Each structure stands twice: as C-alpha cells, then as structure tokens.
Amino acid sequence: MGRRRQSVTIRHVAADAGVSLQTVSRVINDEPNVRPEMKERVQASIDKLGYVPSIAAQRMSGSRSYLILAINDRDRTIADWRGRQGVDWVDQMLLGGMLKCAELGYRMIFELVDTHSDHVERELRATIAALQPDGVILTPPHSDNPLIVDLLHHQRIPFARIGSLGGEAGIALVMDDEGAARLATRHLIDLGHRRIGFIAGSPEYSLSRWRVDGWEAEMREAGLGTDGLLAEGDFSFASGEAAARQLLGGTNPPTAIIASNDQMSLATLEVAREKGIEVPGQLSIVSFDNTPIVRFTQPPLTAVDQPVAETVSRAVELIIKAQRGGPRPAEPTVVRGSLVQRGSSAPLQ
Amino acid sequence: MGRRRQSVTIRHVAADAGVSLQTVSRVINDEPNVRPEMKERVQASIDKLGYVPSIAAQRMSGSRSYLILAINDRDRTIADWRGRQGVDWVDQMLLGGMLKCAELGYRMIFELVDTHSDHVERELRATIAALQPDGVILTPPHSDNPLIVDLLHHQRIPFARIGSLGGEAGIALVMDDEGAARLATRHLIDLGHRRIGFIAGSPEYSLSRWRVDGWEAEMREAGLGTDGLLAEGDFSFASGEAAARQLLGGTNPPTAIIASNDQMSLATLEVAREKGIEVPGQLSIVSFDNTPIVRFTQPPLTAVDQPVAETVSRAVELIIKAQRGGPRPAEPTVVRGSLVQRGSSAPLQ
DNA sequence: ATGAAAGCGCTAACAT
DNA sequence: ATGTTAGCGCTTTCAT
C-alpha cells in the first residue's frame, strides 16, 4: 500500500487564506490574539477545503490527543461477551462515554486490560505510549488496582475511578451502591418482609461490600436482624445458585432475597423453582444491575438500575475539566441509581 | 496540564544499544537487513527501557497506524443501547474484532457514523483524517452506502463491507443470509409445516432481501406456495406486531412464521398470545439473530445465529492482508450461521 | 495581532 | 548491514 499523506493540511489552509500557519493553528484551537475578521477568513478556508487537523500531528507537537481511553477488565468482559447473557455494561459505557466525548470534541477508545496479569503495568504503559490519551477511565476492578492507579498518577494523566472511593489520586465516581442497597431493602421492608436475605458479590469489587453495608444498615435501622441471612457469591450464576441454596436450605429461610447482580438473581429464581417455592408468592427477589434479561424472566425481576451510562458520561466531563487545569473534585461524585419494580417482589403473605 | 512528552523514545534506545535510529526502527518493524546479534542487542535495550513506539509519530512519518476503524450506524446503535433489549451486535463485533486485532498487533476503534446525514462524507473524512486508520470495517447499512464506499475507495484505504456483495470496491463478507433462511424454512418443512409465513426486515438492508429469497427458494423447491405469506417489517417491534397481525389475521393463517429478527419474533409471540394462539402448539416461530433474550422468552425461541464475531474477525484478517499488499479476494467471503433449536418450533399437530 | 523558526518521534530514501 | 538526512503536520517558543 502506498504512502498515504494527509490530503489537506494546515499549510493548504494557510496558503488559501493568505495567513501564516500560526494563525490557522490559533483558529483551530480557539486561541486568543486573532481578529474576528481574520478568524472568519481562516474558518472559511477550512470549510472550503474540508480541512481536519491530524490528531497524530497535534499529539506529536505536544498538544492534546482528544482521545479518552476507557478500560475494562479483559477476562470478565470477554466472558460476558461470549456468554451472551445480555450483560450490557460495555454498551452502556459506550453510550454514555462516546456521546459525551463527541459532544465535547473528543473521541473515546475502549480497551481491555488484564487486571490479574503480572504485566498490567507494561500492558497499560504500552497502550498509553501508543495512543497518548488525554485521560483514562477506570472501571472495577481496575479502579482499585494500585499498580494502575500509581502509574496513571505518576504519568500525570487525568483519570476517573468508577466504583472507587479511595485515595488521593484520580477522580472518584460511585453509583451509590450503599444507597441503592438501602432502597432495595426498604422496598422489601415496606412490603412487610422481615427476614430478608442478601447474596453478596465478589469481594474483589469494593461495591460488593458497599451493597452489603447498605442492606445491613437499613435492616438495623428497621430493627431487623441479619444473622444467617448473608451469603457470599462472586457474581457468577453458579455462585448465586450455591448462595441461594444456602439461604433457602435453612430451617428458617428468608421470605425475600436481594442478589448483588442479575446472574445471581436468575440463579436464585432457578433454585426457588427447583424447590417449588413460588416467586413472588412465597419468595420475593430483588436484583442488581437491571440488564435486559430481567424483563424476560418469569416473573420479571424487580431490580436496582445501575446508571452506567450517566456515570461514564460524568467521568468524561470531569476528566476533560481536569485536563484543562480545573481542580480535582474533593468529594467522590455520586450518581444515584433507581429501583425498577417488576413482578418478582410482592407483599409478604 | 503540562507538556507530556514520550518518556522513552527511539533515541534513548539507539543510544543505549549504541546503534543508529534506523537500526532500532528496523528492529521494531521486523525489517530485514539486521544481523541477529544486532537485533538481540536492540531488543534488550527496548525491553530494559520499556520502550513503546508512539503511534502518532509512526503515523506521521507515513507508516502504519496499526488502527482498524469499525463503524456502525449511529441512530440504530444508539437506539439499541437505549432500548436495552439485549441486542448485542456491538459486543459481538468487539469480541471478534478486538481479539483478532490484538492478536495481529493492531487496535480496533469503534465509531458511530450517521448514514442518513447529508454530511456522512465530511463526518467520515474527518474521522479518517484524525485517526488515519489502516483499514475500515463497514456494517449494514453503511456497507452499501455509495458515498462511503467511494470515499474509502478513492482514499485507497482497505475496507471490508459486511453484509454486502456488491461492487468492485472493498472486501465483501456476508453471513449467508439466504442459506440461513433456507435452513430455517427447511427446519419448519421437516416438522410438517406447509403454510410458513415470513416477516421481512427493512428494505434498506440488502440482507432483508436475501432472507426473503432463501425462504422463497426453499418453499418453491418443496413445492409450497408463498402467496399471502410475506409481510414486510423494518426490524422494529411495532412493525413486527403489524406484520404478525396481518399474517395471523387472514382466513387461512400460517402454522409457522419466520421473522427476520428477534424483536419482530417477540412481537409475533405477543400477537399470538393476544389471539390465544399457542406457541408452539398451534404456531411455530423461528427467529433471526439469536440475541440473548431469545433464551428467556416463553417458550425460548428457535433462532438462526448470526456469526457476527467470526465475520468481523475475518474482516480484520482480510483487511490487514490487503493492506500488506495481498490481492483483494475475488469472491465474497461467506460465513455460515447455524440454527439453534429451542421450544418455539414443533411438529405440526 | 501576526509571523518565523525549531522541534516532537519516527520512517523512507538515500548513502556508505 | 548499517548510518545519515530530510521530512510528516502541527504547536510551541520567540520574534516583530
């Protein structure tokens, strides 16, 4: 394949408008010290010639790349894609991130990085060196990976940590997992439930703990006990199955169960069916995530919706603000989720 | 934010290894004319210093960018994301594309482009100018958009046209829609059905026609008529509803219906429920796409699986081959889908 | 307010 | 087989 050069460069525009390269550059970047009439003339040439600056060249000369890098855990993401269970986390990320980026003149690039590998650092360093992004968005469990956080911090690249509260580095954003868990718990209490079980997610994710905290707090405040009502899963269907069996197998089983994601809720539903326990007649189920499938189960699942798109959108805004010299927000940004009521939760009979 | 320069450049490596820049460049790009011992020495320095070439700089000097751009229709994609119906086309694209790219040392960038806009050309031209991708992957309906195809052709950028057969430009790949439709039709004929209805997709997509063709051909070969058995939809739930009502409202309704995507199959299922028609007892339904939700409907839907991941993966391979000077395949690449049998299709009673 | 010159990190073309 | 030179398109200095 032959050399493929930029067809219209800043040079063509400068010549066409009869000004220097600098002036064109100033117009492109909306910098001061250009007379309005000059600016107009240059803009006219740009439009006429259909000129678009080359990101590569801009980056080369040390300016912005207008690229925001979003990274997800490789194994987990690929497993979700292969599993085809309708997990649309990536889609919602892209929805929120790409649209906001486009709005602000940026571009979002989505990448997979292996959290567990010994060479996370090298892998990420290579991606950054290659792409030179202006900012990075971290999702769980990357958000809490000290190797990644330190690397970004030292390279002085603005970055967002979604689902993380900790530390002095990076911009923290959370989806109010504790509040959402309280919401779900309160919903069940309001329906008359007293023994409300909880299936926790993988301890590798901070948000797993927060969800448990919310449930415990709401139960405590309602004067309800939680002994024997907590089971630990890891977000997988299999782990949800085991947890549900544990909770429903006791002598005094819960009348409602909150599971920390949809897969584990599905598993709970399945275990209930197996045991001949009617949902929601004898057991209410509330799920987390609200992925597409929860509308198609029998009954459809009441679920806490995770505002992934909005959170990523906010992350983009904050990163770009930070990159432009704005101050790092002192407090984590909290984006609240909502409870979507469907057929799987009902009054205690 | 301060100037962020590459920390380790080719210059550092050259100095460390005591060779010229060129030699390092040759090693990076695996070019000939480097003695093995030299190569080893340079590689050692690269590893030691953790050097990674800057894509921006590589691109600037006219070489590859190692970027493959995949574009989807903006409106449709955003509608799918917002609708949260579990359409995982994008996920499957990323699965196939990103993994293959990574395997070959490339990176896939996913973008949205508005097919219907008057300025598709400008929009795409801008993206290409900014990113300088080594290749582009087009999906329907972009694959048949002459503005886009001509632009890419003239810019001499290798590109794949997924879901398109036409023209002398670009690398065509299809998922054998006709064959898949025949498969579905044959399946129903084998179950004893004689009156098999078909709900077509939007005529804007070539594949809609091919699916109809496959159904018609298989029906004809079995000596079965198709009069009054074809209804046109546009892939939306609403259009599927209308089409199903049309097909099931006649005096001699079909005993089986093939719908051109999952949304329209869902609609058909709904219309059947409304009318008190049992599925699969009185009506068999076969769907297209096999997105996650079809496993959760009652009954689960028999569906033709679209091998999106594999097709995109092949597209990446072919583009990279073309970019390296390989010949353009004369024939369209055909990736075959398969029929996944579930509860919505049963023998005619 | 505008322009000229220097250089970003890399590779193609041309030496040797 | 290796090195030298001249850019790629743009943005920074630093003039004017």
- Provide the percentage of residues in chain A whose pLDDT is more than 70: 99
A45, A8 Cβ separation under 8 angstroms: no
C-alpha span between B133 and A188 (Å, rounded): 53
DSSP B300: P
C-alpha span between B135 and B53 (Å, rounded): 20
Instruction: Decide if pLDDT at B1 tops 70.
Output: no
Of the listed ranges A42-51, A82-91, A207-216, B273-282, the least confidently predicted one is A42-51
Q: Which of A296, A340, A342, A344 to mutate to test the interface with B (most CBs of B within 10 A)?
A: A296
C-alpha span between A177 and A162 (Å, rounded): 12
**Domain presence at residue B258:** yes
Residue B23 burial (10 A CB sphere; 0-12, 13-18, 19+): buried
Report, in angstroms and rounded to the nearest whole number, the Rg of chain A calculated over CA atoms: 25
Of the listed ranges A63-67, B132-136, B193-197, the least confidently predicted one is A63-67
C-alpha span between B103 and A28 (Å, rounded): 37
C-alpha span between B80 and B191 (Å, rounded): 34
Residue B146: asked if its preceding bond is cis (omega within 30°), the reply is no
Mean pLDDT of A274-283: 96
Asked if residue A243 and residue A185 are part of one domain, the reply reads yes
Mean pLDDT of B8-17: 90
Q: Rounded to the nearest 10 degrees, how much is the dihedral formed by the CA atoms of A85, A90, A93, A98?
A: -130
Q: Give residue-wise pLDDT tens across range B146-163.
A: 999 999 998 888 999 999
Q: Do B1 and A130 touch (CB under 8 A)?
A: no
Q: Rounded to the nearest 10 degrees, how much is the dihedral formed by the CA atoms of A147, A153, A158, A159?
A: 30
Q: Residue with CA nearest C9 C1'? A: B57
CB proximity A325 to B under 8 Å: yes
Instruction: Decide if pLDDT at A1 tops 80.
Output: no
**Domain presence at residue A344:** no
Asked if residue B25 and residue B133 are part of one domain, the reply reads no
C-alpha span between B334 and B315 (Å, rounded): 11
Residue A111, pLDDT score: 96
Q: What is the pTM of this model?
A: 0.91
CB-strand contact B155/D, under 7 Å: no
Asked if residue B55 and residue B26 are part of one domain, the reply reads yes
Mean pLDDT of B116-143: 88
Q: Give residue-wise pLDDT tens across range A190-202.
A: 999 999 999 999 9
Residue B270, pLDDT score: 96
Which 59-118 positions of A have CB less than 7 A from strand C? 60-62
Asked if residue B186 and residue B124 are part of one domain, the reply reads no
Residue B280: asked if its preceding bond is cis (omega within 30°), the reply is yes
Q: Give residue-wise pLDDT tens across range B88-108.
A: 999 999 999 999 999 998 999
C-alpha span between B78 and A55 (Å, rounded): 26
Among A157, A263, B328, smallest CA distance to A149 is for A157
Asked if residue B299 and residue B201 are part of one domain, the reply reads yes
**Domain presence at residue B347:** no
Query: For chain A, what is the domain count?
Result: 3
Asked if residue A315 and residue A299 are part of one domain, the reply reads no
Mean pLDDT of A277-283: 97
Q: What are phi and psi of A20, to 5 degrees?
A: -85, 165
A285, A256 Cβ separation under 8 angstroms: yes
CA B38 to chain CA mean position, Å: 44
Asked if residue A159 and residue A208 are part of one domain, the reply reads no
**Domain presence at residue B348:** no
**Cα three-residue angle B257-B261-B264, rounded to 5 degrees:** 65
Asked if residue B222 and residue B330 are part of one domain, the reply reads no
Which 13-52 positions of B have CB less than 7 A from strand C? 21-22, 24-25, 28-29, 51
CA of B27 to C1' of C10 (A): 13
Nucleotides, chain D, CB distance < 7 Å: 1-13
Q: Give residue-wise pLDDT tens across range B234-265.
A: 999 999 999 999 999 988 999 999 999 999 99
Mean pLDDT of A130-145: 92
Q: Give residue-wise pLDDT tens across range B47-91.
A: 898 888 888 888 888 778 889 999 999 999 999 999 999 999 999
Among B310, B309, B329, smallest CA distance to B319 is for B329
CB pairs under 8 A between A and B: 155
Asked if residue B79 and residue B42 are part of one domain, the reply reads no
- In this prediction, residue B5 has a pLDDT band, given cuts at 50, 70 and 90, of low
Strand partners, B232: B200
Q: What does pLDDT average to over chain A?
A: 92
Among B276, B250, B280, smallest CA distance to B265 is for B280
Burial A232-267 (b: 16+ CB within 10 A, else e): bbbbbbebbbbbbebbbeeeebbbbbbbbbbbbbbb
* Nearest nt by C1' to A9 Cα: D9
**Domain presence at residue B91:** yes
CB contacts, 8 Å: A85 with chain B: 292
C-alpha span between B339 and B305 (Å, rounded): 6
Residue A4, pLDDT score: 58
Q: Give residue-wise pLDDT tens across range A100-117.
A: 999 998 999 999 999 888
Q: Give residue-wise pLDDT tens across range A289-343.
A: 999 999 999 999 999 999 999 999 999 999 999 888 778 888 999 999 999 999 9
Residue A222, pLDDT score: 97
Look up residue A320 and give its two tokens.
Answer: 């770009």
Q: What are phi and psi of B180, to 5 degrees?
A: -65, -40
Mean pLDDT of A127-146: 91
**Domain presence at residue A348:** no
How many other C-beta atoms are found inside a 10 Å radius of the C-beta of residue A31?
Answer: 11
Q: Which of B4, B10, B71, B319 to mutate to test the interface with A (most CBs of A within 10 A)?
A: B4
Q: What is the DSSP string of A181-222?
A: HHHHHHHHHHTT---EEEEE--TTSHHHHHHHHHHHHHHHHT
**Domain presence at residue B345:** no
Residue B3, pLDDT score: 46
| Sheet architecture: strand order including A256-259 | A230-232, A196-200, A256-259, A284-289, A302-305, A338-340
Q: Do B56 and A59 touch (CB under 8 A)?
A: yes
CATH value at residue A217: 3.40.50.2300
Q: Do A55 and B155 touch (CB under 8 A)?
A: no
Residue A2, pLDDT score: 37
Asked if residue B118 and residue B27 are part of one domain, the reply reads no
Q: Do A55 and B131 touch (CB under 8 A)?
A: yes
- Provide the percentage of residues in chain B whose pLDDT is more than 70: 99
Range of the domain at B137: 67-175+308-337
CATH value at residue B26: 1.10.260.40
Taking phi over 0 as left and psi of -120 to 50 as alpha, with beta for the rest, B207 belongs to alpha
- Provide the percentage of residues in chain A whose pLDDT is more than 90: 70
**Domain presence at residue B41:** yes
| Residue, of B132 and A187, whose pLDDT is higher | A187
Q: Tell me the residues of chain B between 143 and 172 that have a Cβ less than 8 Å away from chain A.
A: 155-158
A258: helix, coil or strand? strand
Asked if residue A239 and residue A292 are part of one domain, the reply reads yes
Asked if residue A154 and residue A80 are part of one domain, the reply reads yes
